[in-house]
Amino acid sequence: MFSSMCDGCLMRCLILAAVAMVACADEPVVAEWGLGRPISADEIKPWDIDVRPDGVGLPEGSGTAEAGEAIFQTKCASCHGEFGEGVGRFPPLVWDGTPLTADRPRKTVGNFWPYATTLWDYIYRAMPFGNAQSLTSDEVYALVAYVLAMNDLLDEDTVVDAKTLPKIEMPNREGFIRDTGPDIHASRCMQNCVQEVRIISRASQHRSVDSGE
């Protein structure tokens, strides 16, 4: 049944493939399938918003914590709290002193984030929640400064811009290691392998491994 119904379409497919292969030889990729067109630098620009740890990608503009306070209270405090303490289940932006080594560590901008520049990327990219990418560059710089100042990492009147932001040393700057992997060291079993796979631990149990054989 398969072959009788599809003889015709199989033939069409083969012809199409042959045409595509001929086209492949000297046409650019975009023209090959008759789809799309080359994208211009101007069109890429709105998508190219990433800010790297070293500050590459930071736009022009500047701000201070002093300027950021009013913006924060209007656009951010409803979820993150007047003092960045977090409202309900919305995340706090200020560290409450719970160490990263605690059973339930408190990971915030102040004690966990390794780069101040990431704040710029994150706030512009994703906040305010529900209205992302609506802030101007100056507003974002001011908010970054305000969040840093709430964490006692910056003075109120220090100007934050593309030059100064990458120079701010975050407390947990050295707290990350590069994982060169692999994190599982196992070799593939080719013979006499276990018949039944048994789960002996779960991540949520921390280090407690079921050793009851």
186: left (phi over 0), alpha (psi -120 to 50) or beta: beta
Q: From the list 63, 64, 65, 80, which residue makes contact with ligand HEC (rule: CB under 6 A)? A: 80
Residue 51 near ligand HEC by CB under 6 A: no
C-alpha 72/C-alpha 78 separation (Å) is: 9
Residue 127 near ligand HEC by CB under 6 A: yes
Q: From the list 51, 94, 123, 162, which residue makes contact with ligand HEC (rule: CB under 6 A)? A: 123
Which is it for strands 160-161 and 62-63: parallel, antiparallel or unpaired? antiparallel
Residue 129 near ligand HEC by CB under 6 A: yes
Residue 114 near ligand HEC by CB under 6 A: no
Residues that bind ligand HEC (rule: CB under 6 A) add up to a total of: 18
Residue 176 neighbours by CB under 8 Å, 6+ apart: 114
Looking at the Cβ atoms of 55 and 81, the one nearer to ligand HEC is 81
Residue 153 near ligand HEC by CB under 6 A: no
Q: From the list 59, 79, 85, 161, which residue makes contact with ligand HEC (rule: CB under 6 A)? A: 79
Looking at the Cβ atoms of 12 and 173, the one nearer to ligand HEC is 173
Helices and strands per DSSP (H, E), number in the chain:
7, 2
For 211, phi then psi, to 5°, come to -105, 15
The span of 126-134, 171-179, 191-199, 200-208 binding ligand HEC (CB under 6 A) equals: 126-134
C-alpha 109/C-alpha 40 separation (Å) is: 36
C-alpha 25/C-alpha 41 separation (Å) is: 27
In the complex, which residues of this chain contact ligand HEC (CB under 6 A)?
Answer: 75-76, 78-80, 90-91, 93, 108-109, 119, 122-123, 127-130, 143
